[in-house]
Structure 1
Amino acid sequence: MTPAAPPALFRVVPPGIFGPLASPNRQHYWLLLCRLFDEFFGPDAPLPPSTGLPRRDITAAIERYLLTDDPWEKEDGEAPDAGPGQRAAAIYERFRAAGWLRQERVGVREMVSMSPVVSQLMSLLLEFSERGPTFVSARIRSIELQLQQVVEGRAGADALDEAADQSRRLLSALAAMSLQVRDLMPELSRAESTAQFARQLFEDYVSRFFIGDYADLHAAGHPLARRGAILAMARQLETEHRARLLAWYREHLVAGDDARAAARLQRAIDRLRELERIDEYLARLDEDIRQANRRALAFLDYRLRAPDRLDVLLRRAVAGALAAAPEALRLPVGPGTLADETRLRPPRQRARPIPRSANQVQAPTPEQLARLSLLRRMKRARLVTPEDMAAYVGRHLGQGDRIESTGMAIDSIGDFRAYQLLVTAALRSQRPGGLRRDDPLGRVLRGFRVELLPGEPGDSDYLRAPRFVLHRLRKTA
């Protein structure tokens, strides 16, 4: 499937909307926008009339803000001695020209409002700037509940799209978390004192950037252990409920276009399947957090052991030595040669090693060499490396996405051992929490996952074991 074209952002929002936020006074423009949004246009503000608010109310509010806090820099085209009223009118015109405010004439009055698209963009920017620690449990629980409603027929494809978008946002947040942890440590290292470093470490590093439920991610009762059920519901929606979901898309979103409806459904299913890769993101985040902890502990240990203000003491010592009289710089030692060969410690005489007789080397017999070679070949035949497993699975999967254990052949000892490992992985996946990330089998199972099938064990030519199915993991962008 060809990738979708990027959405046209400036067909939705005004083209110059980011102009004030890219100027030298961007901090002050942003503060004014937040105040106007909270007081007049936001969800916490009183409901404005349908025709908008009078223009003089908006300019008076901007002027009031300038009178209480006016640290602005002069910009090009601004009058050098402009008063607060003139500057408030100029700021209002800047917001109106950029698209943040919309002005309409109602009778003889000029009324001001904020368009729904701009209001939604402002809400998203505020939500992004006020983001806190991510709670994986809440997002996984929300995704599962929405998919359950879709499977039970109590919700349509709109709930499916919302669950797919939440899955994408969860993975994006986990991916960005590693970069935030790595970027935070150089900033903390610039702290002027040990107390400041410790305070920033626990306030910024732990409280603001950590996952809110990071300590419970590996618990058996954490909702993250239910991701297998989420993936199963996604497969069920793709097969059993496909016709109902396609009908919803055709009726509500794509105006009867079957191709666009199928593409929209496939996009939602693919985003849900990305949850298969959440272990990769969590493993990388664990490693970044361990490295950050080691760096923080090493820095704290250095700051606690090193003398306080060591650089100040060195500068004072150098300045005092340069300004002191020559006789004051004399070393406090007695007369005579300071360094002489007679004062040196004599070299240490190492005792001569005791002569030893070499052990007699006896060459192995041909039978012993043959037994040793046979033993090595037996051990190698029973050893399954990731490459051996990939070759065995790839020989059976081919171009397909799944295969059951009944369709897998055992033609050698290596095939037998690979089949045994797949059975073991299928059994371990049924434990609470699934296959743990530190399980040695995780290094062998690359590019696919194993799911245990219910029912009686199946019989093969060499083994009686539970039945299972292999699923290929799709790589997503």
Structure 2
Amino acid sequence: MTAFTPVPPLFSAVPDGLFGPLASPHRARYWQLLCRLFGEFFGPDAPVPPSHGFPRREITAAIERFLLTEDPWEEDGIAPDAPLAVRAAAIHERFRGAGWLRQERVGAREMVSMTPAVAQLLAALMDFAERGPAYIGAKVRSIELQLKQVVDGHAGADTLDEAADQSRQLLSHVSAIGVQVRDLMPELTRAESTAQFARTLFERYVRELFVGDYAELHREDHPLARRTSILSMVREIEHSERRADMVQWYCDRATQGDRERAEQRLQRSLRRLYELDRIDEYLQRLDEDIRQANRRALAYLDYRLRAPDRLDALLERACRGAQAAPEDALRLPVAPGALMDEERLRAPQSRPRPIPRTANSLEAPTPEQLARLNLLRQMKRARLVLPEDLGRYVDRQWKDADTLDSQALEIADIADFRAYQTLLTLALRSRRNGGLRRDDPLNRMLRGFRIETVEGQRTANDYLQAPRFVLRRIRKTA
């Protein structure tokens, strides 16, 4: 978290003992019962609840129906053979004391409801438990459509916040997949049979952990290839008159007129959207984790298929058979005679003597040859552009600006000219949708900046004429 982002107060929004039932020995049964009550009474699929809640008897009756289908289990000292109504009342009191249910007296009746904060938390927990593979294309498409509405003036800062939250969730999900893949491999190796290993591999590793559209990420028509247009819209929001509209929206609806806090809220959303440019780093690490996991899984599967099944059991049975066999049955299957007689040994091989070698005569180079060799090395080095050479050239041209036009680039010597040519090559290769490919060798040249071409315009200097391009500095996020 940044210095100006406070820690969100969790226990001021939910009761302190809310997680007590979910931390008890019977937490699995409590979770099933909470999900059933939520779906039947308080969830979005249930009928619209009365404003004052449900009668207490309806809730306890639902708990009794749940207990009828479950194995007997003791609750708060109540024996499993206690009457069903007593056990249901004890579970209801446990939920009410923890804060999952709220009980109020309306006239002569006791009514039960669930607070909105607790219902929202339970819905989030159920969504987390039912999570499956993410579809990056759908999330990127949603972010792009929301930003387009903001740029066109059809939506406010609430839509911008939603797009920023989706961008942060997308990066967090992709980052966490690699950890899940690495944690899954030790569990797979504990499979008792090859069939169980293969079934677990394909059911959990491929179906549950992979990105749903992972095989389509590298296609040019994938929505992820349009992240350049998303970042362009973010820059437009930041540097156009829409920025003032966003700040005013925060002042009116989120910060009670505090303009400084409104600026901070806007910067936080923009910073989260700019982080979408780092998704290539997460995807490269995910590709490497998946390749390594595939190699380990294939090697382990190959070993399990080739190795005899239950090898330890076979060895143990052979040892028992050797101990119980008669003496004549343990005779070695070899021909009669001495086993280690020298006549049975193979004659040693006689290697031919090596040909005597004479050293080649060395002749020291002349000063002119050394001078020509050094000059050739300097010529090759001057024409070779490494990432650090390109970084020094660009850093010398920035002059405290965030953008740098190709018309302002200075060329003083051969090294500068070669650096300019490299930037031009990067600009031409970045014309494709989504910019440079992640496997492009020149992608490692882009350190701290992004390059874009200016359509329909050209740049002319003393050495060549080429399409015009612009360098944009990448801001480091907190």
Q: Which residue of 2 aligns with 1:316?
A: 317
Q: Paired residue for 1:403?
A: 404
1:2-401 equivalences under 5 Å are 2-70=3-71, 72=73, 74=74, 77-79=77-79, 82-240=82-240, 241-397=242-398, 399-401=400-402
Q: CA deviation at 1:192?
A: 1.8
Deviation at 1:99, TM superposition (A): 1.0
Cα pair distance change 1:470/1:67, threshold 3 Å: same
- Cα deviation per residue 1:398-450 (whole Å; 9 max; x = unaligned)? 65433222333223322221221111111111113320011111112122211
After superposition, the Cα gap between the structure-2 partners of 1:321 and 1:365, relative to the gap in structure 1 and judged at 3 Å, is same
Does the CA-based 8 Å contact 2:75-2:87 persist in structure 1?
no
Mapped partners of 1:413, 1:87: distance in 2: 87
> What is the distance in 1 between the residues matched to 2:80 and 2:433?
70
Question: Shift in Å at residue 328 of structure 1?
Answer: 3.8
Deviation at 1:307, TM superposition (A): 1.6
Change (3 A) 1:321 1:85: farther
Amino acid at match of 1:205: Y
Q: 1:422-437 to 2 correspondence within 5 Å?
A: 422-437=423-438
Identity, % of aligned positions: 67
- Contact 2:382/2:415 (CA < 8 Å) preserved in 1? yes
Q: Is the 8 A contact 1:402 1:471 kept in 2?
A: yes
Q: Is the 8 A contact 2:53 2:111 kept in 1?
A: yes
Q: Secondary structure of the residue that 1:111 maps to in structure 2?
A: strand
1:345 counterpart letter in structure 2: R
Q: Which moved more, 1:301-310 or 1:401-410?
A: 401-410
The range that moved more, 313-322 or 258-267, is: 313-322
Whether the aligned pair in 1 keeps the contact of 2:424 and 2:469 (CA below 8 Å) is: yes
Structure 1 distance, partners of 2:9, 2:106, is 32
Is the contact made by 1:136 and 1:224 (CA closer than 8 Å) also made in structure 2? yes
Q: Secondary structure at the match of 1:243?
A: helix
Aligned-residue CA RMSD in angstroms?
A: 1.9
Task: Give the secondary structure class of the aligned counterpart of 1:11.
Answer: coil
Distance 1:398 1:71, change over 3 A: farther
SS of the counterpart of 1:348?
A: coil
Deviation at 1:27, TM superposition (A): 1.1
Query: What is the CA distance between 1:249 and its match in structure 2?
Result: 1.1
Between the aligned partners of 1:399 and 1:323, the Cα distance in structure 2 is 88
Separation in structure 1 between the aligned mates of residue 72 and residue 137 of structure 2, nearest angstrom = 43
CA distance in 1: counterparts of 2:357 and 2:215, whole angstroms = 59
Where 2:11 maps in the other structure, the secondary structure is: helix
CA–CA separation in structure 1 for the residues paired with 2:253 and 2:327: 93
Partner Cα separation in structure 2 for residue 300 and residue 398 of structure 1? 58
5+ residue gaps in structure 2?
A: none
1:87 deviation in Å? Answer: 2.2
For 1:136 and 1:194, locate their aligned partners in 2 and report how far apart those are by CA, in whole Å: 33
Q: What is the one-letter code of the residue matched to 1:390?
A: G
Distance 1:345 1:76, change over 3 A: farther
Identify the range of structure 1 (145-154 vs 183-192) with the bigger mean alpha-carbon deviation. 183-192
Aligned length: 476
Deviation at 1:324, TM superposition (A): 3.7
Please give the secondary structure, in 2, of the residue aligned with 1:351.
coil
CA contact (8 A) 2:75 2:90 kept: no
Q: What CA deviation, in whole Å up to 9, does each residue of 1:39-71 have, x standing for no partner? A: 111111122211111112111211221221126
Sort the Cα spacing of 1:347 and 1:84 in 2 relative to 1 into closer, same or farther, 3 A.
farther
Cα offset, 1:116, TM superposition: 0.8
Deviations 1:282-316 (A, max 9, x none): 11111111111111111121112112222221221
The separation in 2 between residues aligned to 1:360 and 1:8, in whole angstroms, is 82
TM-fit CA distance, 1:396: 2.7
In structure 2, what residue type is equivalent to 1:284? R
The SS at the match of 1:143 is: helix
Structure 1: runs of 5+ lacking an equivalent = none
CA offset at residue 332 of structure 1? 2.9
Equivalence for 1:465: 466
Q: CA deviation at 1:77?
A: 4.5
Preserved contact between residue 217 and residue 224 of structure 1 (Cα < 8 Å)? yes
Letter in 2 for 1:386: P
Q: Aligned with 1:105: secondary structure?
A: strand
1:234–1:272: 8 Å Cα contact kept in structure 2?
yes
Aligned 8 A contact 2:75 2:91 in 1: no
**One-letter amino acid matched to 2:463:** Y
From the superposition, tell whether residues 402 and 78 of structure 1 become closer, same or farther in structure 2 (CA, over 3 Å). farther
Letter in 2 for 1:146: Q
Whether the 8 Å CA contact 1:218–1:433 is kept in 2: the answer is no
* TM-score (structure 1 length as normaliser): 0.95
Please give the alpha-carbon distance, in whole angstroms, between the structure 2 residues aligned to 1:298 and 1:184.
Answer: 15
Q: Tell me, in whole angstroms, the C-alpha distance in 1 between the residues paired with 2:400 and 2:272.
A: 21
User: What is the CA–CA distance in structure 2 between the aligned matches of 1:80 and 1:32, rounded to whole Å?
Assistant: 17
Q: Conserved in 2, the CA contact under 8 Å of 1:20 and 1:26?
A: yes
Deviations 1:85-138 (A, max 9, x none): 222222111111111111111111111111111111111111111111111110
Q: In the TM superposition, what whole-angstrom CA distance separates every residue of 1:156-196 from its partner, at most 9, and x where no partner exists?
A: 11111111111111111100111111112222222222222
8 Å Cα contact 1:426-1:452 kept in structure 2? yes
Q: What amino acid sits opposite 1:243 in the alignment? A: A
SS of the residue aligned with 2:349? coil
Per-residue deviation at 1:334?
4.1
Contact 1:39 1:45 in 2 (8 A): yes
C-alpha contact 1:16 1:99 (8 A) present in aligned 2: yes
Q: Any conservation in 2 of the 1:164–1:271 contact (CA below 8 Å)?
A: yes
